[in-house]
Amino acid sequence: SIGGGDSDTPQNSFCRSCDKASSDFDVRHLFNLSTVYELPLGAGKRYANSPGILRTLVGNWEMSAIGTTQTGLPVNITVDRTNASVPGLYAVSGSERPDYVFGQSLTPAGGSTPNHWINPAAFAVPAKGTFGNLGRNAFRAPGITQIDLGLSKFVSLTERFSIRFRADVFNLTNRPQYGAPNADISASNFGVITTTLSNYATGRGTPRELQLSIKVLF
């Protein structure tokens, strides 16, 4: 394997340096922002601080938010070739890469879209008996941007017991989080994204979700 946690195998097992590239898990740019804000309502606060039903309802609320944005993970572009087309024992089947067509942009004209993420005109099948000159992990999958919001309220029952009611919204803007495109230039849907980032019911990359919870503190 390539090493460093990557699952790829080298295109040419006798030329490991030919596969030097970004790791499969390389996140080139990542920005996280988190904040917690205690609303100025209730006992000891600026507003609604007088005893009564209003203070009970609107007091002790806390708002939290987490925002994440990052660039996409690398995409390794490959090509299907027969064993007779590559240089004999030096090749590793399934890891061959195409030739890069000089002067062509890897990004489609007008920008990448889920139905056209990579420019197919930028690649060609290598001549028989040669390896493709395109580097490993030459392009990137879509980035990730997500905002999660939380709202919680603390209610004191006794000196020792209290309850926290909490509502969380994950992916507040319901922004689509796309997976990697098909990166095999021999496939009919090359460059098309057919999956989302996550197929799990919860977690990062899912559609908007609402979660309600109660926590007892003692």
pLDDT at 19: 87
Which residues touch 115 (CB under 8 Å, ≥6 apart)? 192, 193
Cross-strand bridge partners of residue 116? 113
User: What is the C-alpha to C-alpha distance for residues 189 and 194, in angstroms, rounded to an integer?
Assistant: 9
Q: Find out whether 24 and 7 touch, Cβ atoms under 8 Å.
A: yes
The residue-averaged pLDDT of 128-136 equals 91
Coil, helix or strand at residue 92: coil
Q: Is the pLDDT of residue 5 over 50?
A: no
User: What is the C-alpha to C-alpha distance for residues 152 and 165, in angstroms, rounded to an integer?
Assistant: 5
pLDDT at 79: 93
pTM of the model: 0.78
Q: Is the pLDDT of residue 8 over 70?
A: no
Which residues touch 202 (CB under 8 Å, ≥6 apart)? 170, 209, 211
For residue 57, give the H/E element and its range: helix 53-58
pLDDT by residue (tens digit) across 139-167? Answer: 999 999 999 999 999 888 877 888 989 99
Confidence class for position 111, pLDDT limits 50, 70, 90: very high
pLDDT by residue (tens digit) across 70-89? Answer: 999 999 999 998 877 887 65
